[in-house]
A and B are shown apart, each in its own frame.
Chain A
């Protein structure tokens, strides 16, 4: 950890923390429950008697036995071995925002944490109200007529659209006929994946030189089989499709619905809306654009909004207001039903509501402006770094809130890849920037996103680190290729993890396979149901 002029010294905490399954000693307790009261025990009978013999657990659970303090320290150590936003994280397509801690404290209060969704509506007014008003604010931002918060993430929001599309088409008697969903190769993978999982065939449009597919390509793709278009715009290269209104018209004329995957809307919020562009539905990720935290991939919310025409198909329940009271509307015969139990990730909805209230109209405009400004500010510095170029250079217009860069030149010059650069940047307390969704349209991509929450000094520091890594790549490529050097652990050896004899998704699988490898036995595949001491049988 030598000091590099102009850069701070950094090293991640290293704890060599054992896996919890190997920790503790028999008899230690992290929590105890008192014996039931005498009257309870004597009336109810013993737990053993209450469980029919054939479904009684016969073996003791092989879980760790630890004291409360040991458990706390173990997970604190693991939290410290997680860099994320404790450093600087400009993870493109995920809009790394400041997550106001007020909202964490509010969500942990009993008025949210200790309420049950099946309580009487009368006793839930204080939670229905912010959800309803979050809906109203998202309606204003999108021009849509109704939102549902049931989807547990952005991909789930896309799936919700696929289900709503099914409901809409079924009501028109067209579901069998309209079996295709159109996406572009730059549409987030969750759109084609959820469309396929909902039963649709996926048609994918490729990009032209300017960074988006042509109108002609779309015209050739639509037909009486078209169910829907699912698309994001601007895309995650920071490129806006100026033909999008015409696209919507083409799909509508063909009889399909248009869905805007607006998960990351930081670059255009308050500037354009689904309504004016003609979309039938859109989706926001509340844990991205609207300030709720990511949680390392959730809990999350894909807020799905649509026009009045589609609203009758939305999942149950919808929250309504009759002028006096907020109520849950479940009497909706055309609803697609549920995509998840209960209403959605309620604490996250309240956090988004709070974030929107803290921002207001001016704040939304300011956050958008700062995001686009910061990205272009970074871009002009980034393109001066040796080995760094950007996608679609023919498109000379200012990019939106993201720019996709390529490290192809760096890789050709030095052998250092984008993944190497990611790893080396973490040595400076910068968590890995996003590369690109599959497929990689340009070689060695990286996609930082500045957002509004990082200071200019943070952004300058981020660029300075990339400058240093580029300098290292050209002077001492091995240093970068063998990175990280200052992290909690070194780079993984992934040679065996695709091999069933080695992959280990649990500790019990690991211990069995390690034993088999050591004893030279053939690849171990456990039979569920076999008791550990009975060993294993082959597949």
Chain B
């Protein structure tokens, strides 16, 4: 089959008819079809595919794509307070420049020498994450925060030989669902029992009494997030770790890394494994499409030899004084060990990790401190202003970072109605929690970051004031 009018396709150099003919001639065949002799006739499609007409012209394709995408509304034209694991942060221009470098965008897997630059950038990703969480072993990234947490829980289960994990009930339902898949159903051989621990209705923090009552010698790990999904800063991390360690369980802490210029590193209050998302580190919202997760741990064999991810080690080369970065412990990965490997690995988000490395290098210690300060100030300003509105209540007003729960019960309106009305003001209100957290009533999770100016927040307050008074 030839292309329409035998025009060579811009993506396919050998679709130029004479080139193709030269290759056919070299093989001594008349038609490409002869090459499919391995496929029995009754395996083949009857009739032809029905795909939309090709847009071979870049001009036509671009026009079509732009017309389609124009039906979106964006968080750039609107004022958005949506977060819940996909947060609007400033993305420095350098991050986009590096994210678009052809060498990083298109490569796959060469040699240690021909991949040197990419490997060094990935090592720098691991090294900088290590500084944020204060841990010495960091693996190459995984798909998302939830996937990182799932793998970490499985690591702990293998390390301890136990099959139980304790998780606060304030966890993101999306992430909990991911984790539940990692923990396997009860019918399968390596099922890990997920035990939910209450959170305190006053503070929003994990309920230590409930944790203590559920913690036992059966526990492989406790998984705590800081800040929690509801934005609350967990102050009792050290006590959580002590309770876990006293029972021989591992402490896994999930973090939003952009908080770590301000908040203590998980290792500082006893975490054995730290996981988290890399989306806040220089990655756009991309409709939830720029997730990525990391797994950091103590640099002890007990932990390192349970890693599912690829691991990249600094090394020397055969040339004296020259440094390189090479994959190590591949024998425990699924690539080498198949079903005997530690869970599995594969294509994840290496390009995003390089972008995050760039972001962290731009930020430095002062950037993280300033951004963290800006976020916590602005989010508290927003919460205090909103709290002034009649019928609006901040559920956990003290000790939160970036996100906070806004209760609307006393307005007599649903979050859905309020958000619909806010849209007429060009505002995306916070994520509706009323379905996932019915105990919080009609409430929404508002996200305020360094991108929200005082004017933006005041605009929200004015609009909400009008919306709830109607």
- Give every chain A residue within 8 A of B40 (Cβ-Cβ): 242
- Please state if B88 and A116 are interface contacts (CB–CB under 8 Å): yes
Of A1-9, A45-53, A406-414, the one contacting chain B is: A45-53
Q: Let me know if A260 is at the binding interface, CB within 8 A.
A: no
- Please state if A455 and B13 are interface contacts (CB–CB under 8 Å): yes
Knowing A111-B70, A341-B178, A489-B116 are in contact, say whether A346-B288 is a contact too (CB < 8 A).
Answer: yes
Q: Let me know if A364 is at the binding interface, CB within 8 A.
A: yes
Q: Let me know if A220 is at the binding interface, CB within 8 A.
A: no
- Give every chain A residue within 8 A of B368 (Cβ-Cβ): 61, 63
Of A23-31, A251-259, A303-311, A469-477, the one contacting chain B is: A23-31
C-alpha gap A61/B367 in the complex (Å)? 10
- Please state if A82 and B339 are interface contacts (CB–CB under 8 Å): no
Knowing A106-B69, A504-B314, A529-B270 are in contact, say whether A189-B335 is a contact too (CB < 8 A).
Answer: yes
- A-B contact list, 23 entries, CB within 8 Å: A12-B113, A30-B94, A32-B367, A36-B381, A56-B262, A75-B354, A82-B103, A117-B287, A129-B71, A193-B341, A197-B343, A271-B44, A287-B347, A295-B351, A298-B349, A300-B347, A341-B146, A345-B291, A357-B55, A357-B64, A488-B113, A500-B299, A512-B136
Q: Which residue of A lies closest to B11 (CB)?
A: A98
Shortest CB distance A353–B (Å) = 8
- Please state if B352 and A346 are interface contacts (CB–CB under 8 Å): no
Knowing A94-B108, A271-B36, A493-B317 are in contact, say whether A244-B9 is a contact too (CB < 8 A).
Answer: no
- Give every chain B residue within 8 A of A85 (Cβ-Cβ): 102, 106-107
Known: A62-B131, A86-B103. 12 other contacts (CB 8 A): A19-B124, A89-B110, A102-B61, A141-B49, A155-B344, A193-B338, A341-B178, A370-B20, A497-B313, A506-B130, A528-B271, A539-B302
Q: Which residue of B lies closest to A28 (CB)?
A: B364
- Please state if B112 and A296 are interface contacts (CB–CB under 8 Å): no
The proximity string for A residues 130-160 relative to B, scoring 1 for CB distances below 8 Å and 0 otherwise, is 1001000100110000000000111110110
C-alpha gap A58/B131 in the complex (Å)? 13
Q: Let me know if A119 is at the binding interface, CB within 8 A.
A: yes
- Give every chain A residue within 8 A of B311 (Cβ-Cβ): 503, 505
- Give every chain B residue within 8 A of A179 (Cβ-Cβ): 188-189
- Give every chain B residue within 8 A of A175 (Cβ-Cβ): 185, 187-188
- Give every chain B residue within 8 A of A190 (Cβ-Cβ): 334, 344, 346
- Please state if A43 and B384 are interface contacts (CB–CB under 8 Å): yes
- Please state if B431 and A505 are interface contacts (CB–CB under 8 Å): no
Shortest CB distance B290–A (Å) = 7
Knowing A50-B380, A118-B82, A506-B136 are in contact, say whether A526-B181 is a contact too (CB < 8 A).
Answer: no
Q: Let me know if A380 is at the binding interface, CB within 8 A.
A: yes
Select one of A57, A78, A158, A272 contacting B260, CB under 8 A: A57
The proximity string for A residues 191-204 relative to B, scoring 1 for CB distances below 8 Å and 0 otherwise, is 01111111111101
Q: Let me know if B405 is at the binding interface, CB within 8 A.
A: no
Q: Let me know if A273 is at the binding interface, CB within 8 A.
A: yes
Q: Let me know if A494 is at the binding interface, CB within 8 A.
A: yes
C-alpha gap A124/B289 in the complex (Å)? 14
- Give every chain B residue within 8 A of A58 (Cβ-Cβ): 264, 268
- Please state if B32 and A342 are interface contacts (CB–CB under 8 Å): no
- Give every chain A residue within 8 A of B123 (Cβ-Cβ): 19, 505-507
Shortest CB distance A279–B (Å) = 12
- Please state if B127 and A491 are interface contacts (CB–CB under 8 Å): no
C-alpha gap A129/B66 in the complex (Å)? 12
Knowing A65-B364, A75-B98, A116-B80 are in contact, say whether A455-B117 is a contact too (CB < 8 A).
Answer: no
The 9 closest A-B pairs by CB, nearest first: A360-B54, A84-B107, A342-B288, A199-B188, A81-B117, A155-B346, A295-B351, A346-B289, A193-B334
- Give every chain B residue within 8 A of A46 (Cβ-Cβ): 377
C-alpha gap A526/B300 in the complex (Å)? 7
- Please state if B301 and A539 are interface contacts (CB–CB under 8 Å): yes
- Give every chain A residue within 8 A of B363 (Cβ-Cβ): 30-31, 63
Q: Which residue of A lies closest to B234 (CB)?
A: A55
Of B208-216, B323-331, B406-414, B462-470, the one contacting chain A is: B323-331
The proximity string for A residues 456-499 relative to B, scoring 1 for CB distances below 8 Å and 0 otherwise, is 10100000000000000000000000101001111111101110
Shortest CB distance B215–A (Å) = 20
- Give every chain B residue within 8 A of A61 (Cβ-Cβ): 131-132, 260-261, 364-365, 368-369
- Please state if A505 and B139 are interface contacts (CB–CB under 8 Å): yes
Q: Which residue of B lies closest to A275 (CB)?
A: B45
Shortest CB distance B410–A (Å) = 22
- Give every chain B residue within 8 A of A77 (Cβ-Cβ): 117
- Residue from B103, B182, B287, B336 whose CB has the most chain A CB atoms within 10 Å: B287
Knowing A83-B110, A104-B105, A456-B13 are in contact, say whether A526-B75 is a contact too (CB < 8 A).
Answer: no
- Please state if B380 and A45 are interface contacts (CB–CB under 8 Å): yes
- Please state if B72 and A125 are interface contacts (CB–CB under 8 Å): yes
Shortest CB distance A126–B (Å) = 3
- Please state if A507 and B291 are interface contacts (CB–CB under 8 Å): no
- Please state if A374 and B14 are interface contacts (CB–CB under 8 Å): yes
Q: Let me know if B145 is at the binding interface, CB within 8 A.
A: yes
Select one of A66, A125, A298, A346 contacting B364, CB under 8 A: A66
Knowing A47-B377, A63-B360 are in contact, say whether A56-B347 is a contact too (CB < 8 A).
Answer: no
Q: Let me know if B84 is at the binding interface, CB within 8 A.
A: yes
Select one of A82, A244, A526 contacting B118, CB under 8 A: A82
- Give every chain A residue within 8 A of B313 (Cβ-Cβ): 497, 502-505
Shortest CB distance B237–A (Å) = 7
Knowing A176-B187, A272-B43 are in contact, say whether A194-B72 is a contact too (CB < 8 A).
Answer: no
- Give every chain B residue within 8 A of A361 (Cβ-Cβ): 48-51, 54
Q: Let me know if B207 is at the binding interface, CB within 8 A.
A: no
Select one of A106, A118, A234 contacting B38, CB under 8 A: A234
Q: Which residue of A lies closest to B136 (CB)?
A: A509
Knowing A51-B376, A104-B100, A366-B15 are in contact, say whether A116-B287 is a contact too (CB < 8 A).
Answer: yes
